[in-house]
Amino acid sequence: MIPDSFIQDLKASCDIEDIVSAYVKLTRKGKNLVGLCPFHSEKTGSFFVYPQTQSFYCFGCGAGGDTITFLKRIENLDYVEAIRLMAQKAGIPVPEDSVDDRGARLRARTLEINRETARFYHQCLTSEIGKEAYRYLIERGRTPKIIRRFGLGYAPDDWNSLVDHLKSKGFREDEMVASGICGRTKNGGLYDRFRGRVIFPIIDLRGNVVAFGGRAMGERGPKYLNSSDTPVFKKSKNLFALNFAKASKAPNLILAEGYMDVIAIHQAGFDNAVATLGTSLTEEQARIIAQYTDTIIIAYDSDNAGQAATKRAINIFSEVGVKVNVLNIPNAKDPDEFLQKFGPERFQQLLEGCTNALEFEISKIRNKYDVSTPDGKVSFLKDFARLLADIRNPLEREVYLTKTAEELGVSPDAITAQIRSIQKGRRSAQAKKEKNDTSIYIGDIASGRKDLDRKRNLKYAVAEEHIIEILIKNQDYVPYFLNKCSPGEFVTEVNREIVTLICDRVMAHRSVEPMALSADLSTEAMDRLSGILASDTIQRAERSQLDEYIAIVKEHRSARSEQEIANMDPEEYLRYVESLKARKS
């Protein structure tokens, strides 16, 4: 457990404006600062930083918290890791004996294992044992300089070479297994997971080796073998080479399919390429990309699988507000092959001639049909109309509608009528769905998230949030509140979590500053608390005001009791009356 005293010292040494401005361009607005939210896509800034309270809150997506919470979100860290990073930025050592966290110690040990493993594999590649792997890379067009830059390595075709090396460095067997770099046999022994493969270290944004990808040099086994999720690595939240691409001066990022493509693109002088890690693009990865650019160039393979993956990626990027361009790769199956055949200048021309996402979708539809025939033309136009029905920008829709109508010799009005029919049908279906579906509510206007609990109990939730704000600002009211009301009487789960923690900490004479609370609150609760503090609705509260809100909260219990009584059967009601008589006597 990290002492409050250390957190307070750390807080005094780190200004939230300095921390956040390293990731977000902030503009001063009165006493506060505003910028575009790094956690969701937006064109108008709704992300506020409050220097006075050392907190942040986004009125667009509802994300909020303190400096530690911000670092947790932006860097995909846990609480202890965020503390360490923040302390590192401030130049303050974290007391090791204060971090009684087995998980944190395991993560630290895993990073040490990964660092030593990467060093071992790189040494193998440049030694006699790895000469075939080194020759393979050179024949694939990789230079010694790029091999060193990416720390490429070779896993010997042996079951225990890495195991023996790590043991010689003092690592325990359980640590090696937890790191994912070694496996355990049925007999309890250890073995190397990567064998006879070229190794690609995966490095996070802080320069830590967090995982590995291995490519087979022959036909044995799967072509690629990737690290599974570990205490320091989640496939869905990491991107290969983002540690390099984040510093690029290019106005966009290039998303390729594989390690070799990315390395080839970097070697050709384009330092803005990244790749997913043996999986399809995830929404988490798209959101990470959105933190660094508003435009992505998808450079997937030109085969059917690559084109299908491109379509899926377009849909995901549209959800997070990233503009998509698609790289058309002629006469080559992927960027690596194209660069080897035609060189960087031709590749630059491809980048400049990218098609946008809509053009890509139109071309894919058009390739499905023979538009020289009436049936093919009708089928294409139906799909085309469905595609344009999704386009929100009327000018963009009109440009492509008119262009296509002219090309096919059909009336624009006919296509427009089809689009309107599709949109009308969708609105009708959506209205029917909303009428029938009572299980989903996009509740809190500020966050736009599902919050059925708050929606169902809005009157009580608002009163609870006023109580929370009063207690945060007037901590001497906590004993009075506890004498009048129990935190367990709060109706909504998230507010109950917040008020319970506040009361516990105040009664234990501990800080209730947001930074002190962030370690023990769930993400949802921290967002809610940040929203309460950001609203700043109560400037000065009297006990009478607190009493009013407590009375509202207690109304729910009374209303619930009345309902329960109404639903009692005769025997239950008699027992209830007898219990009331007993209390009075």
Backbone φ and ψ for 274, nearest 5 degrees, come out as -140, 170
pLDDT for 560-574, tens place per residue?
555 555 555 666 656
247, two tokens: 């510093």
pLDDT for 78-125, tens place per residue?
788 888 889 888 888 887 655 556 777 888 899 999 999 999 999 999
> What is residue 297's predicted lDDT score, i.e. its pLDDT?
97
Strands 273-275 and 32-35: unpaired
Task: Kindly report the CATH number that applies to the domain delimited by 452-578.
Answer: 1.10.860
DSSP 39: S
Q: CA dist 320 to 36, 241, 282, 316, Å? A: 13, 21, 11, 7
Strands 323-326 and 355-356: antiparallel
Task: Kindly report the CATH number that applies to the domain delimited by 4-98.
Answer: 3.90.580.10
> What is residue 582's predicted lDDT score, i.e. its pLDDT?
56
> What is residue 442's predicted lDDT score, i.e. its pLDDT?
32
Whether 201 and 165 have beta carbons less than 8 Å apart is answered as no
DSSP H/E element including 191: strand 190-192
Whether 152 and 119 have beta carbons less than 8 Å apart is answered as no
Task: Kindly report the CATH number that applies to the domain delimited by 242-354.
Answer: 3.40.1360.10
> What is residue 429's predicted lDDT score, i.e. its pLDDT?
73
Backbone φ and ψ for 243, nearest 5 degrees, come out as -60, -30
Q: How confident is the model at residue 578 (pLDDT cuts 50, 70, 90)?
A: low
More confident residue, 213 or 72: 213
pLDDT for 274-287, tens place per residue?
999 877 898 889 98
Q: Which residues of 378-392 are buried (b: 16+ CB within 10 A; e: fewer)?
A: ebbbebbbebbbebe
DSSP 415-453: HHHHHHHHHHHHHHHHHHHHHH--S--B--TTT--B-HH
| Long-range interactions of 489-492: CB distance < 8 A, separation 24+ | 489/553, 489/554, 489/556, 489/557, 490/460, 490/464, 490/553, 491/457, 491/460, 491/461, 491/464, 491/553, 491/556, 492/453, 492/454, 492/457, 492/460, 492/461, 492/464
CA-closest candidate to residue 551, choices 481, 455, 458: 481
pLDDT for 404-437, tens place per residue?
999 999 999 999 999 999 988 877 776 665 455 4
C-alpha 279/C-alpha 299 separation (Å) is 15
pLDDT for 178-191, tens place per residue?
999 999 998 999 99
A 10 A CB-CB count for 518 gives 25
Residues listed for the chain: 585
DSSP H/E element including 125: helix 102-125
Packing angle, helices 523-535 and 493-507, rounded to 10:
80
The alpha-helical segments, DSSP class H, found in 169-250 are 173-179, 242-245
Average pLDDT over residues 490-510: 90
More confident residue, 152 or 395: 152
Q: How confident is the model at residue 217 (pLDDT cuts 50, 70, 90)?
A: confident
pLDDT-above-70 percentage for the chain: 89
**Whether the domain at 242-354 and the domain at 452-578 fall into the same CATH topology:** no
CATH topology of domain 102-233: DNA primase DNAg catalytic core, N-terminal domain (3.90.980)
> What is residue 569's predicted lDDT score, i.e. its pLDDT?
63
pLDDT for 43-57, tens place per residue?
788 899 998 888 999
| Tokens 């359980």 found at | 174
562, two tokens: 């009345």
Among the ranges 203-207, 552-556, 569-573, which has the highest mean pLDDT value?
A: 203-207
Ranges of beta strands (E only) in 204-262 are: 209-216, 224-226, 253-256
Q: CA dist 257 to 26, 107, 240, 305, 450, Å? A: 34, 28, 10, 11, 34
CA-closest candidate to residue 310, choices 301, 320, 323: 301
Strands 190-192 and 323-326: unpaired
pTM over 0.85: no
Average pLDDT, the chain: 86
Whether 539 and 74 have beta carbons less than 8 Å apart is answered as no
| Tokens 């007391």 found at | 95
Under 8 Å CB-to-CB from 282, ≥6 apart: which residues? 235, 236, 237, 276, 316
DSSP H/E element including 258: none
Which of these ranges, 154-158, 260-264, 393-397, has the smallest mean pLDDT? 393-397
Residue 521 confidence (pLDDT) above 90 = no
Under 8 Å CB-to-CB from 166, ≥6 apart: which residues? 113, 116, 117, 120, 176, 181, 182
Average pLDDT over residues 481-490: 89
Packing angle, helices 543-566 and 458-473, rounded to 10:
150
Domain ranges of the chain: 4-98, 102-233, 242-354, 368-436, 452-578
pLDDT for 312-364, tens place per residue?
999 899 878 889 999 999 999 999 999 999 999 999 999 999 999 999 999 98
End-to-end CA distance of the chain: 50
What is the dihedral angle through the alpha carbons of 503, 504, 509, 514, rounded to the nearest 10 degrees? -70
> What is residue 523's predicted lDDT score, i.e. its pLDDT?
83
Which of these ranges, 72-81, 221-230, 413-422, has the smallest mean pLDDT? 72-81
List the 27-29 sheet strands across, edge first. Answer: 27-29, 32-35, 47-50, 55-58, 64-66
| Tokens 């040490």 found at | 112
More confident residue, 568 or 170: 170
